[in-house]
């Protein structure tokens, strides 16, 4: 059964070298386990999603240029995600500020080719039906 994702959840990108955290904006005033609950709209880089350490995707322009400068040797660069679209698929039966809730089965695609997934939803007590 899916779990509601809350602020402080741990995320991982398939091209990132380190885990990151999700910061749900408490504008909706929906609280789960004493912290703000997340919706699929919590996908904004640096506001909601923190960097993943170093990026190894050659689709990332900074990685591509550093790799070219190193004569083709893969050179990871700081990983700032580029996530213009919301998390998918969301929990359509549970709405937070009119948007589907974010559960631990959702995925987020980065423009640089990475898939961001939820490693730890931040709490274990609020199940989504």
CA distance 124 to 10: 13
* Average pLDDT rounded to a whole number, residues 23-50: 89
Report whether 77 contacts 17 (CB < 8 A): no
- pLDDT tens digits along 2-20: 999 999 999 999 999 999 9
Q: Is the pLDDT of residue 25 over 90?
A: no
Place of tokens 């809350």: 6
Nearest 5 degrees, angle CA 83-CA 41-CA 28?
A: 150
**Coil/strand/helix, residue 24:** coil
* pLDDT tens digits, 51-95: 999 999 999 999 999 999 999 999 999 999 999 999 999 998 999
Q: Mean pLDDT, to the nearest integer, of 38-60? A: 96
CB neighbours of residue 29 within 10 Å = 9
pLDDT of residue 60: 97
Best CA proximity match to 39, nearest among 111, 112, 88: 88
């Amino acid at each position: 059964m899916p779990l509601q994702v809350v602020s402080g959840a741990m995320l991982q990108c398939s091209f990132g070298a380190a885990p990151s955290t999700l910061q749900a904006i408490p504008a909706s005033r929906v609280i789960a386990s004493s912290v703000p609950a997340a919706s699929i709209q919590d996908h904004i880089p640096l506001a909601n999603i923190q960097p993943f350490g170093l990026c190894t995707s050659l689709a990332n322009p900074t990685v591509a240029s550093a790799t070219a400068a190193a004569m083709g040797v893969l050179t990871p660069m700081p990983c700032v995600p580029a996530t213009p679209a919301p998390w998918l698929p969301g929990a359509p039966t549970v709405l937070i500020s009119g948007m589907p809730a974010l559960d631990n089965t959702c995925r987020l695609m980065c423009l640089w080719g990475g898939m961001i997934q939820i490693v730890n939803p931040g709490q274990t007590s609020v199940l989504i039906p």
